[in-house]
Structure 1
Amino acid sequence: MTTDPADPPATPAPTAADPAEPAGAPVEAVSCTGLTHTFGDTKAVDGLDLAVRQGEVFGLLGPNGAGKTTAIRCITTLLPVPAGMVRVFGHDAAKERMGVRRLLGYVPQQLSADSGLTGRENVALFARVFDVPRRERAARVDQALAAVDLADAADRLAGTYSGGMVRRLELAQALVSAPRLLILDEPTIGLDPIARTGVWEHINAVREATGMTVLVTTHYMDEADQYCDRVGLMHRGRVRALGTPVELRRGLAERQGTETLPTLEDVFRDIAGSGLDDNTGGGFRDVRSTRRTARRVG
């Protein structure tokens, strides 16, 4: 990735001597403090406080319009934020945009693979964008393709790939820079159950091998329950419930006074309701975009 002339030089992450971090405290992978973002009169994110621990898979859940994607775009520096609201491994997303971007791999909702390029060419393009050293590019591209089981299909046009293969290709694009934080916005939308499982198997394999942190948004509650270490349920721009899936399910059981353990979807409904009365964003434009993505993947 080329240097943005508007960005100041990257500074080191806070150390134990830095007053922003208590002595001996680990630097969180992501820290949002009072994060707020508006579009005109619409407050999409409303004082969001969020901490993602290093090495965990954190699921950010919520109905359409809850503010999840806006929060993700703030964390990835795609949307501007005031200083001090967002830090990624100690780097301020407002002051050190390039420093933050170099730590990230990002798979957005909308498909980003070029159907007119081969799988290898798609990943190589991202290697150049993220400034992977020239002498390392070929090996890193091969490693990323192998990590998602696309080595045999690497020289085929991406336009010939199945939906699951395209999503794995986008994962390879995000992994080629060896990110410390992988951000996935609805990574399995529109995929069949087998393809969804395959994508998660590859995510977990890379995570176990590298120790990277994963921040994911999903509407599939079964995925969040099975694969996320912790989840945050977001509604109207804020996290309304936070904990492991089991903790949240047990908490709902206690509130309802039942011995039967509810599902994570039950917790979702309890916190967010139907989500249909949520006017914080996610209108027809977002619905159309999601449907287009699902059609292309499917």
Structure 2
Amino acid sequence: MSKDFSEYLKGMKKEETTSNIDLQELENVFDQKKYEVKWWQVVIGNSFTTTTLGILTQPLQVIHTTFQLSIKKMDLQVNNLKDIMEAKITLGEQKKLELILKHKIVNYQGISYQNYNAVLKGLGEQGILGFFKGLGTGIVYQITNSQLRYFLIQKYFNEKKLIQNLYASLVGMVVDVITNPLMLIQSKMIYQNRLPNFRTYRSFLDILKKERNLYKGSLGHIYKHIFICLSQIPSLYINDTRFCLGYLLMIQQVVSYPFLTVIRRLHCQGIKPFMLHTNYIGFWDGVRQIYAQEGILSFYRGFGAFGIANSFIAFVLYSTQLLGESQE
């Protein structure tokens, strides 16, 4: 009898223990603690990752941006004095040209490249640093942009896909408009020739002094995110995580690139020497003129370098995440 009674008590104790503990709630608490990190740790980690990936992909960034800013089949092309000398200009004419450039008497149109070989040759003539133009500004832009997105979007990570997509698009619009001045400065630094005789802006601060409208092209970011949001609707019906991520990466690059092309051209449009002497009144006028004068494929000039750079960044970030989860 005593043995049966003791077993009965054990059963009661076990029943009370299991009924008082919500295992799902306990698991959620452990998961929350596991991923709980300080905000400054996120900032440092994100900044380090962004800086490293920015340095590695900067040559591709410079190549595709230079291609975006190259007007197709432009007649007036001036690159540097070496090209002019090869065109049988006398020494006196060369000195005169240097004087004209120095005092900005004639506003020469910036260089236009027609293929990847021309881009590589033109950048190579500016030295190895020609492939890293705008690196500092670009890193500051990427860090600022990604940090703002992270802290504004993180609380919606566990929401439904539709809410995530809508909120992410809204945040993307706001953040891209806010950081447009940094992107504009990066565009100008990349587009200008870094050789002294052909440099329009000497530094970051010089651009701030000379450029009055730092929000040129900012409306293009709003249109860009509207189209990206619409193109991501099919992802709501994709259950496989990897396939969904692959689709989102591909569609975002394909949809956003034409908008970025027009935005970059608006950034570098102006009457200063070696800038784009186009007359785009606004974003949609730029779209109209590019389509009419250069064709629809001109919106995707340099897309290959852009796709490789972004795919590499996405692969590294995704692989790092998988590695971290496997170690945990």
Question: Shorter chain as normaliser: what TM range?
Answer: under 0.3
Q: Which has the larger radius of gyration?
A: 2
When normalised by structure 1's length, the TM-score is: 0.26
Higher helix share: 2
